[in-house]
Structure 1
Amino acid sequence: MDVVAGDDQVTTEFLCISTAALTAPAEGTVQLTGADGLALTVWRHPHDPLLPGLAWACDAAKVGAALFEPLPDRRSAVVLPELATVSYRPLRRAVLTADHLGERRYLKVLRHGQAGRLAERHRLLTSAGIPAPELIEVPAPDVLAMHRAPGTPLAERLMRDGARSIQPHALINLLQNLPPESMRLPERPAWAARVRDYAMGAAAVLPEEQARITALTNKVHHLVSTVDAGPKVPSHGDFYEANLLVTGESISGLLDVDALGPGHLVDDLACFIGHLAVLPSLDSRYIHVPAALDRFLAAFDHVVDPSALRGRAAGVALTLVAGAKHRASPASPDAWHADALRRLAIAESLADAALARRS
């Protein structure tokens, strides 16, 4: 909303309204009652009651002083970094970028106590030689700041030529070198293990395909329950092209390590395959992805059960169906529907391939 100050200056303020129940009234919030007695909590951005570090992360002067070296000539005018919000999930987390004179830093704003746990994961990885982003200490609560990891997003290479210079074993070796200490971290269920939850999201955006979604969900659940996933090993937990940076023929950056902990190698590889398989439905320029998919599948089949790989990848692809609606644009408001159907068909194809390869 626009606010007129006493000097007639007009500024734009953002109010956040949530139906989430807070355990106690928080400072800076207003409690309202909506329709049918629904309790609402209102706050002015960036003063999120469960993200105490967000206000600091949105202050360019404070962020600039903490994350960037001062200019050699102190007489020069202060150049503040440009802040941008990458994502914001109210009451949960936010990710921002800070750009200053050609350099970029990333900030993750988390709930109380979560930043320390995520920092521990980063340190475990970097100590083991895994290329996680380097952290920067900041004087703010529950904010994790980090340098930009080197390299090009793997998605760009996949679009250019199917990432022909990246050998599948580079991904396998990266996962097999995750530090054993991560086995003492909390375990999170794999994407495919939560297939019934994500099926509800898929059915919400494609209600006319409820029967197909239910049949697919039952197939994936059966495969996850009956096909051996292999031993528990250190796992990334969200291993796909958007979280991988490459330089030359090497993986030079591993991002979003929040889910690091015990898991199965097949689930990390299935996460990669599930996301890779749906890329052409996101952008028609991914013309090299089908060949890349075959190449990565052939290599991964040598280290994990082929049926488990495809069955769990089908579950991952199903988790992505509901997200198609979030990509709707004013120019093509209904294009997302065809995208969602393509993602569903891809998930079905992977599940059928898994059943065909059962040993």
Structure 2
Amino acid sequence: MMQQQSSPLTLLTLKRKENKQITLFTSLAQLTTSSQVCQQYFHTRQILPMKSHEESFDNFLLYTLHLGPCWYESKDSSIQRLANRISTHPLLGIRQFNDQTNATWKSLISINLPQHSFLKDHKIQDAILFPAVAYLELATTACHQLLSSKEDDQQQPTIIFEDVNFIKALILNEHELMEVFTQIIMPMREWYIIFCNQDNLNKYSLNKFTLHAQGKIEIDSKQQKSLTIPNIWTTQHIPSAYEHLPARAYPYASSFEKIKTLRGTSTTIISQLSNHNNNCSSYYLLHPYLVLLPSIETIFLPVHIQKLIYSNKIKTKMNQSTNVEVRGNYHDNICGTSHEEI
């Protein structure tokens, strides 16, 4: 029996002159469809309340119970249940609800899959590396899902990351499936991107997980002002900006050549990006090719970002845009911002 102060929920296991199996399964059906149980489940995992808790679960149905040894699901019920599944982000994967006190997502990444094949284009010194902005994409999307209780056409809270550190590169290859976990420390204070090595787990090694990136989270309900800077320099011919990349051990392919305009000062860069050719563009909040453009003279890999400000997408019938401001450094000497339009 489960009780709450407002309205008790009684689940019977035995009932006089009733079939034991029917009584038990009826109670289980009430348990899976009870809003009280859903609310308590979300509360224990520190998840923000949503307008409809049932959106996070499959639509559990009250089946017709028969006097038989099996409790079966009809074909129509199965189709209806599977049709209600929420589509998952290509990189973030599926949220793990079992045995998790903090919000955690698990993703299986393989560059042989169509939704992950664009990662093959991110090559640095003959190695396929998981892009730095892909880590930011994972953390931003996770926070966005936790804050997704508002209507799509309303202004969402601004997501701010501070003190972002890229600790270790994640090397991808065609013969290995990568198991990546994204974890948000509730109530939305920090985020971690962790790689789980199954080989080490099978060998009972203590090195079960590798931390690749982490950062602190701040949620701001106030609308951020867009950054404006005077034009000291402007690149008119964008293809020429990519010509030096192969010589600097950055043989990027077309998936990571999306800059439309580039301008800035000696300390600040503003760019406009295009994602028309990305089949998964509707899933992404950031693009996994957002900030990786190395210097002409030397090669830099991002190791730290001081601050990233993400102003959520505002959807209208004719326009969709994202404003992203990044204040950071590539070994303490570069920072930039970007603006994307579709």
TM-score (norm 2): 0.23
| Greater helix fraction, Structure 1 or Structure 2 | 1
Larger strand fraction of residues: 2
- Structure of greater Rg: 2
Give the number of the structure with larger relative contact order, counting CA–CA contacts within 8 Å between residues 6 or more apart: 2
- What is the TM-score when the length of structure 1 is the normalising length? 0.22
